[in-house]
Structure 1
């Protein structure tokens, strides 16, 4: 696999930025990120088997991990580039680019029904946004915090590094080569990882960890989970209330909502309490990977105006245009480095967000409810799948349509026992391949094997007996709901059934793979 990530350089002077805009759109969409965006030259796919151009022939139930760009989103990105080129003929590229990003902040706030006083910091990925949250927390708390990560085993793999202010890859989104796991100059620190567990146990573990850190004289950046890779949330609202009461001014909360599987009321609830919120346009909403952002509650800008210095290593993780225009002092410390890839991925994501929230709320809730019920029933009837119970919490906040689960983790079973992690990974890879030529069987079996399907990447789990296994994830994303909508209720119902029929096809392919005499690995080429 290719390990290079396209780096588009905006040299001094507007003409170089304008030149970069004429780069092929697929190249732009895969630029301005870390190695996870790198495309394999053999098939043009990134590490998640997703492409920077529409691939409607691949069925996507992998929104907990990543999605290929849809046709509508691709067309919006193409139009956005055309419009920026046109505006740049009359003004400097940097000026037009900065103005467009400010308009996009307004658009995102409008779709999510957020106050104009909520600031939006754009980033190449949710992982980069975690570094932005750590940087801002240091400024607000007045000292380097200890980061406590709740649900550490069910968040992005880069969190183990970003929580400690360390490089999470060997190259930054700006194209600077770094040493993975080495401290980011001026940002390095300590962290505590807390796995997800039963609600009461999770709350107790969080309170104990904060109490220990504060007693040692350090402030805390608490990264809470809503929701995890398996759709779980922790700690409880009661726990967060207790934290606010016991340690005012000592704990800054950042909510990991990168999956974006929460209602807009819940989002506002967090921001109204002064929490930062990590979001993406590339999980539930199905925009192309990676499009991250940090939602910042009102009041942070005043603190940032008093900043005397910037962690020097952090300068490679943002550009001037990522920060809101009102943050003049902070913006002046960063390079004028337009990240066209990040911008276009967000243009695409905003197209998906707009389409989803343009639908009637009643239909969104009905669609998620019916898809959940259908998937639950099919999993229960599939002998080779073991459902993993939801750990959803009851809440005082109306979570709108997201009262329904949208991630369905399953263990793969053979003879009633979980298969190995290696076989789970093999099935995951095999689902994404056309295996028509590898299957000896009926025409129906070959048709099932030929269909390429994406599901959420395997998540490692520890069984009650201590043994390690992994879960695959079937996911409902916004694109499935948007695609099912019709003003004709009968047609809309047929469309939802069509989605369920495709999921049934995926489950049959899993059964076929697990039933092969030599195991799933032989079908995957592993």
Structure 2
């Protein structure tokens, strides 16, 4: 059962650190080990396996610099600089909270983080508001709630690229719970409506056809436009979730299509940009906000902050309307707290509990440090490093006879350095046929669970068949951490650092290839008598 119906009171919520630390004493909770704090205030995806201390993605809440990581399209382990930033932030909050009170100091720090994130994204004076969330999935719920507040209850959600979006999107698009435990540690029923938010009618548009082949950009644009037009003609309001960068690095629909929809149906269609991969530059973010879009982002994924840290960017033209809007769905109290919302939205904030979400805050402190580190690297070096790493990974994949690189989609010019791909997806085809999703998952698990030399790659993405599991691709990704670390090593030694990253990628690809190649003892001997 959910605790929805009203925002959970401080004493009603169980401490995510365990029964030994009642949430009625949140300052005491702040003194828990940092590793514990970094995995609280989220959902079951953050839970650590008792034997390994890592979550289901193979990520640890403490730095593991010796484990090669090419998994920034899924989740990454926290870096040392991120860990240190989180510890420093925790220490500073402890000192100020003892003197001035925890809730007020925490609220002030989160508000300051909004300013820092806006500045890092080049949005300092744009009037853009930042809504923090535990993950990109949680941010989708916030986007749906704000869209309903702006457009009304007769809302239909249209998700473009539903087959290459997050696994929770099938639920969040309809206003349903996406797990069995919410961010605020409330027991909920997966697939059940969130009070006041669901059910919402949803339309899922796919990037692949029934035959498993990628559809053309023109056919996707046509379907998106016709779907939205049909819904609006019948009197519905539409929240259109467009894909800036899918799990396989694809964008849909085209910018021209989204521009046309925004121009034709203002006030009837709210565009939400899924930019959770964060493989886009400042100009592209600004472009979407100027069009009036809500933009979903994360501090993990490309920036390689710890999982999970989500946010929703709200353009200035919508922020003013939301500030005077009525209360949001009461069921959001399972997923958000007061400090998630901007201080300017006083009436909206008052419906949520004041309890600090330490885990979400500390993950964002670490993520902001990663964004700062990347932002400090000269743009010319960023572009060169991404190109060198990308070209090297492509060569390594193409050199393996058992792997087939999926062709990347060209990125828009506003992508800045992200006009070049940073996600490299490939199928494993030892006999000319792509391995299934289950087989690719087994390879990924073997790599991360290797006792001697673990490594992390992106989770496999499946397609084909009724369950999208007949074929799948594995992913090797470049992250901001690769670029920042290469620069920090020493500008004069940057090429050596990039070469080391490519050596790690080569070792990963070699291990995958070896796993696909049967041992020599199992290869049938040739019948020399037949020669």
8 Å contact kept, 1:170–1:178: yes
Q: Distance in 1 between matches of 2:369 and 2:308?
A: 15
In the alignment, which of 161, 164, 173 is matched to residue 151 of structure 1? 161
1:31 paired residue among 31, 40, 65: 40
Task: Give the superposition deviation at 1:418.
Answer: 1.7
- The structural deviation recorded for 1:361 is 0.4
Superimposed CA distance per residue, residues 249-281 of structure 1 (whole angstroms, 9 cap, x where no aligned partner)? 110001000000001110111111110100000
Aligned partners of 1:326 and 1:343: how far apart in 2?
19
Query: How many Å apart are 1:453 and its aligned residue?
Result: 1.0
2:429 to 400, 410, 413: 413
Q: Offset at 1:434?
A: 2.5
Q: Please, which runs of 5 or more residues in structure 1 have no aligned partner? A: 436-449, 520-526
What is the distance in 2 between the residues matched to 1:291 and 1:354?
Answer: 16
Q: Which of 171, 188, 205 does residue 194 from structure 1 map onto?
A: 205
What SS does structure 2 have at the residue aligned with 1:353? helix
Structure 1: distance between partners of 2:138 and 2:414: 30
- Structure 1 partner of 2:442: 426
In the alignment, is the contact (CA less than 8 A) between 2:144 and 2:239 conserved in 1?
Answer: yes
SS of the aligned residue for 2:471 comes to strand
Counterpart of 1:386 in 2: which secondary structure? strand
The match for 1:441 is none
- 3-state DSSP class of the match of 2:446? helix
Secondary structure in structure 1 of the residue aligned to 2:429: strand
| Matches of 2:220 and 2:272, distance apart in 1 | 17
2:120 paired with 1:111: yes
Q: What residue in structure 2 maps to residue 238 of structure 1?
A: 256
Structure 1 residues 467 and 319: alpha-carbon distance in aligned structure 2, compared to 1, 3 A threshold: closer
Using the alignment, how far apart are the partners of 2:231 and 2:363 within structure 1?
38
How far apart are the structure 2 equivalents of 1:306 and 1:487? 49
1:474 counterpart = 2:476: yes
2:142 corresponds in structure 1 to 132
For 1:184 and 1:144, locate their aligned partners in 2 and report how far apart those are by CA, in whole Å. 16
Structure with larger RCO (C-alpha < 8 A, sep 6+): 2
Following superposition, the deviation at residue 300 of structure 1 comes to 2.5
> Which residue does the alignment assign to 1:277?
295
Does the 8 A contact of 1:63 with 1:284 survive in 2? yes
C-alpha deviation, 1:391, in angstroms: 2.0
Aligned pair partner of 2:193 in 183, 194, 210: 183
- How much has 1:302 moved relative to structure 2? 2.7
Contact 2:180 2:190 in 1 (8 A): yes
CA contact (8 A) 2:164 2:461 kept: yes
Mapping of residues 495-506 of structure 1, within 5 Å = 495-506=497-508
Match of 1:312 in 2: 330
TM-score by length of 2: 0.90
Structure 2 distance, partners of 1:143, 1:275, is 19
* Per-residue CA distance 1:358-383 (angstroms, 9 max, x = gap): 00000000000111111111111111
**Cα contact 2:149–2:328 (8 A) shared by 1:** no
TM-aligned CA deviation for residue 400 of structure 1: 1.4
Aligned to 2:305, the other structure's residue is in SS state: coil
Q: Assess, with a 3 A threshold, how the Cα gap between structure 1 residues 9 and 142 changes in structure 2: closer, same or farther.
A: farther
Determine whether 1:360 maps to 2:371: no
- The residue that corresponds to 1:205 in the other structure is 223
How far is the alpha carbon of 1:420 from its aligned partner?
2.8
SS in 2 for 1:279: strand
Q: Quick one: distance in 2 between partners of 1:265 and 1:236? A: 16
Q: Following the alignment from structure 2 to structure 1, what is the Cα–Cα distance between the partners of residues 515 and 17?
A: 42
**Which of 293, 304, 322 is equivalent to 1:286?**
304
Return the TM-score normalized by structure 1. Answer: 0.91
Instruction: Go from structure 1 to structure 2 and tell me whether the alpha carbon gap of 1:467 and 1:308 turns closer, same or farther (over 3 Å shift).
Output: closer
Q: Deviations over 1:390-417 (max 9, x none)?
A: 1234x3x432110110000000111232
Matched with 1:438 is none
What residue is the counterpart of 1:522 in the other structure? none
Q: Structure 1's 6 and 42: CA in aligned 2 closer, same or farther, altered over 3 A?
A: farther
User: Cα distance 1:29–1:488, how it changes in 2: closer, same or farther (>3 A)?
Assistant: closer
Secondary structure class of the residue paired with 1:84: helix
Q: Decide whether aligned partners of structure 1 residues 28 and 472 sit closer, same or farther in structure 2, where only a CA change above 3 A counts.
A: same
Matched residues in 1 for 2:112 and 2:164: separation? 33
Q: Mapping of 1:256-271 within 5 angstroms?
A: 256-271=274-289
Name the CA shift for 1:518/1:292 in 2 (closer, same or farther; >3 Å). Answer: farther
Identify the match of residue 74 of structure 2 among 51, 65, 68: 65
Q: Which residue of 2 aligns with 1:228?
A: 246
Cα distance in 2 between the residues matched to 1:9 and 1:84? 22
Gaps of at least 5 residues in structure 2 are: 1-13, 208-214, 522-531
User: What residue number does 2:49 align with?
Assistant: 40
Residue 9 of structure 1, CA deviation = 9.1
